[in-house]
Structures are given as C-alpha cells and as structure tokens.
Amino acid sequence: MANLWRAAFGATQKTDDYDGVEFWSNPERTGWLTKQGEYIKTWRRRWFVLKQGKLFWFKNSYITRASKPRGVIPVRSCLTVKGAEDILNKQFAFELSTSRETMYFIADSEKEKEEWINSIGRSIVQHSRSVTDSEVVDYDSKR
C-alpha cells in the first residue's frame, strides 16, 4: 500500500523530485495543514509549501536552502482538489486525488481551506498537459 501511495503521489524522497525548485524562496503558497501519516494513519501538523507545481511538506516552518522536505507531491499527477468535510466528518477538510489514491488535509479555517483548494487547483491546471495561459482558470473569480 505504501509503495502504491508513493507511486501515485510521487512522494519518494529522491532529490531529483525537487532539484531546481527553490522551495525556500518566494513560494506560491505556504501554511500549516494537518495531514494523515503515510504509514501510521495518525493526523500530523506539517508546514506546506506550494511552488512550481510541487507541494512540499516539512516538520517546521523555518525553511532554508538546507531544509529537506518530508515529502513532495507533483501536482501534475493530481486530478482533483475539493472539500472533504462530509467524507472525514472533520471541519475544514479537503482532499487531493490522483487516479489511484486520495490524500486528506485539514486546514485551520474555512478561509485557509478555500485558499489552499484555489492555489492547488490553479497549480494543477497550470502544470497538467500543455495548457496555454488563456486556458488557465482563475479559481478566485468563481466565488
């Protein structure tokens, strides 16, 4: 199961997964989210960084060039990002899905949840297939 999760989300710890992405500098979005552990299904609070089509997570929020991500998800492998409060029965929950797996997150507020969904959704569109700028959906204008 863990290997399936790693294959689906590309969450292996190879440095070529994030080489070239300066996740410590000018990220598109950062913040605390609670996520389920990969092996032990407990909920853990992690610092997330979205940059250049990759969603990284860390144990703490002090990120430098020397920081090593605990995991990375290439958003190009993701199909949907949407609310999941009814599925998890937890407030501010959302899910990120590939064709094989679904990963769940919990934000600190409704506003944070919506901002993460919008940011990840924009990144999925921008990094999937070959999308021209005119085809990129502005999720913020859909409210």
Q: Per-residue pLDDT tens for 60-86?
A: 999 999 999 999 999 988 999 999 999
CB 84 within 8 A of CB 95: yes
- With a cut of 80, say whether residue 128 has pLDDT above it: no
The pLDDT, as a whole number, for residue 137 is 53
Tell me if 9 sits within 8 A of 101, measured CB to CB. Answer: yes
Provide CATH code, domain 2-142: 2.30.29.30
Q: Is the pLDDT of residue 108 over 80?
A: yes
* Distance of alpha carbon 49 from alpha carbon 55, whole angstroms: 6
In angstroms, rounded to a whole number, what is the distance separating the alpha carbons of residues 133 and 75? 17
**pLDDT tens, 14-56?**
555 666 888 999 999 999 999 987 777 899 999 999 999 999 9
Backbone angles phi and psi of 142, in degrees to 5: -85, -5
Q: What pLDDT sits at residue 39? A: 76
- pLDDT over 50 (residue 143): no
